[in-house]
Amino acid sequence: AQSVTQPDIHITVSEGASLELRCNYSYGATPYLFWYVQSPGQGLQLLLKYFSGDTLVQGIKGFEAEFKRSQSSFNLRKPSVHWSDAAEYFCAVGPFTGGGNKLTFGTGTQLKVEL
């Protein structure tokens, strides 16, 4: 069965500092990986996704993620965090079919940004 682990429930960083959110996955086939961000009471916004090709993926809002097959990881990074980045971040894995994505989510990492 597929699963996603986000080891860090909460992370606090200072504004301007770098950020790395960890994500490890278990998937029986080639994984399709996603990072989403959710603000309180809101839906999910797609930050970036990885299907194949270059293992370093660029996303919106200055985020990037690196797929490492040997470590079954897909960590999210940002060089300099802004106060507006404070939110809940979810890593997800699933198959990609023509009909869409049936995703399994990690438990999320709550990011707090100190000014």
Q: How far apart are CA 112 and CA 87, in angstroms?
A: 7
Smallest distance from other proteins to CB 47, Å: 11
Contacts of 107 (CB under 8 A, 6+ apart): 5, 6, 9
Residue 95's contacts (CB-CB under 8 Å, 6 or more residues apart) are: 29, 32, 101, 102
- What minimum distance in Å lies between the beta carbon of 70 and other proteins? 25
Q: Binding to other proteins by residue 31, rule CB under 8 A? A: no
Question: Is the CB of 85 or the CB of 108 nearer to other proteins?
Answer: 108
Residue with tokens 């960590």, as numbered in its chain: 75
Please, which residue, 70 or 88, has the CB nearer to other proteins? Answer: 88
User: Which of 9, 36, 11, 10 has the alpha carbon at shortest distance from 94?
Assistant: 36
- The interface mask with other proteins, positions 39-58, x = CB under 8 A, is --xxxxxx--x---------
Binding test (CB under 8 A) with other proteins, winner from 23, 31, 36, 74:
36
The distance of closest approach from Cβ of residue 43 to other proteins in the complex, given in angstroms and rounded to an integer, is 4
Residue 67: CB atoms within 10 A of its CB come to 21
Contact between 99 and other proteins (CB under 8 A)? yes
Q: Which residues bind other proteins (CB under 8 A)?
A: 34, 36, 41-46, 49, 90, 97-108
